[in-house]
Chain A
Amino acid sequence: MKKKRAPVWVWLIFLLGMAYFFIPLLSTFEFSLRMIKGTYSFEAYRVAFSDPAFYKNFGYSLLWAMLTIIISSIMVVWTAYWVQLRLRRIRPVVEFVTLMPFVVPAVVLTFGLVRMYGRPPLLLTPTPIPLIAGYVVLSFPYMYRAVDAGLRSIDIHTLTEAAQSLGASWGTILFRVIFPNLRGAILSGVFLTFAIVMGEFTFASLLYWPAFGPYIEEIGSMRAYTPQALSLVSFLLTFLSISAIQWFGRGSREQQAQVAGAH
Chain B
Amino acid sequence: MAFLEIQHASKLFAETAAVQDFDLAIERGELVSFLGPSGCGKTTTLRMVAGFEQPTTGRIELDGVDITNMPPSKRNVGMVFQAYALFPNMTVGDNVGFGLRVNKRPKEEIDQRVQEMLSLIKMPELGKRYPYQLSGGQQQRVALARALAIKPQVLLLDEPLSALDAKIRVELRYEIRRIQQELGITTIYVTHDQEEALALSDRVVVMSAGHMEQVGKPWEIYNYPTTEFVAGFVGTLNQLRSRVVNAQVGELDYHGQRFKVSGELPAGETVIAMLRPEQLRMGVHPGENQLTGKLISLAFLGAIVRMGVELGEAVVTLDALNERRLALPKVGEPLTISFPPHAAWVMPVD
Give residues in A with beta carbon < 8 Å to B: 154-155, 158-159, 161-169, 172, 176-177, 180-181, 183, 255-256, 258-259, 262-263
Contacts and interface: CB of A to CB of B under 8 A. Distances in A.
Contact of A259 (B51, B131, B143, B150): B131
Contact of A162 (B76, B81, B103, B139): B81
A170 to B, nearest CB: 9
Given A166-B150, A167-B150, A181 B87 contact: yes
Interface of B: 50-52, 71-79, 81, 83, 85-89, 98-99, 102-103, 130-136, 139, 143, 146-147, 150, 156, 163
A164 B85 contact: no
Contact of B87 (A159, A161, A167, A258): A159
A167 B99 contact: yes
A207 to B, nearest CB: 40
Contacts of A162: 79, 81, 85-87, 143, 146
A interface secondary structure, majority? helix
Given A165-B50, A167-B73, A180 B136 contact: no
Nearest to A155: B83
A164 B75 CA distance: 10
12 contacts: A161-B52, A163-B87, A163-B102, A164-B72, A166-B78, A166-B98, A167-B74, A168-B73, A177-B87, A255-B88, A256-B132, A262-B135
Contacts of B131: 259
Contacts of A168: 73, 98-99, 102
A166 B96 CA distance: 10
A165 B87 contact: no
A169 B135 contact: no
B81 A158 contact: yes
Contacts of B103: 167
Contacts of B146: 162, 166
Contacts of B86: 162
A161 B139 contact: no
A181 B89 contact: yes
Contacts of B77: 165
Nearest to A254: B132
A165 B147 contact: yes
A181 B86 CA distance: 11
Contacts of B147: 165-166
A138 B175 CA distance: 54
Given A161-B52, A167-B76, 6 more contacts: A155-B85, A166-B99, A168-B73, A255-B88, A258-B133, A262-B139
Contacts of B150: 166-167
B79 A161 contact: yes
